[in-house]
Amino acid sequence: MDFSSVRLVASDMDGTLLNTKHELSPDFFTVFNRMRSKDILFSAASGRQYQNLYNRFPGIQDEIIFIAENGSYVMHQGKELHLQQMDRDLTRDILKRIKTLPNVLTILCGKKSAYIENDDPIFVQRLSMFYDEFAIVDSLVNVDDDEFLKIAVCDLSGAEQNSYPLFSEYQDDLQIKVSGNVWLDLSHKLAHKGKALDVVQKKFGVAREHTMVFGDYLNDVEMMGEAHFSFAMENAHPEVKLAAKFMTRSNDDRGVLHVLEQL
């Protein structure tokens, strides 16, 4: 396949660029430097917090475009390119609704920090994989000194089958995405990776015909529609495989790097 026209690459992180241990291959930095020598832009597109994403790429942060919080927040070289915040009243209503659900833990994701009520060590350890900046508060409903980007629901009973159907009434007002086996993300209706990638393409003057994307889960579906070279991972959700034009190896078999090494 001829990839000579590619000018922008956007990749999801967990289940895609990272292996199942959430590790970034050391080989990535070699491939990245080769891409930059060819003036190919790279964007890390994730449900992760911006601060967490930034810290995953030591030494090259200023050369990466960060699409964080499932597209709610886009940053490049310390400058905000896009912000899609949630309505405060609606956010509080949803937080109150989630409080009534069993076996569910909640993260309120702000621009400055993430917020949690539960200080259970196991939950905090899981949280710290995706959020570098977080605070434990008495009540999420009372947090007001931030701009809210997303509510992440950790449903230990399984997000797609258990909690996702419970929020169907909000479909007209919110973007509701299953982003992992136990993760359900609620954000502004226009907040998704596809919209964020469109912002990036316009900012840097790159057409979708010259864009390549990689993803594995349902929060990557819209992004597939914004690129000619759209790749689903071998380990991807069936709906992502349907949305993508091409497929690559699994995240544990260097699927993203296997393609990027051909650029």
- Please identify every residue annotated as catalytic: 12
Neighbours of 22 (CB within 10 A): 14
DSSP string, the chain: ---TT--EEEE-IIIIIS-TT----THHHHHHHHHHHTT-EEEEE-SS-HHHHHHTSTTTGGGEEEEEGGGTEEEETTEEEEE-PPPHHHHHHHHHHHHTSTTEEEEEEESS-EEES---HHHHHHHTTT-SSEEE-S-GGG--SS-EEEEEEEETT-IIIIIGGGGGGGTTTEEEEEEETTEEEEEETT-SHHHHHHHHHHHHT--GGGEEEEE-SGGGHHHHTT-SEEEEETT--HHHHHH-SEEE--GGGTHHHHHHTT-
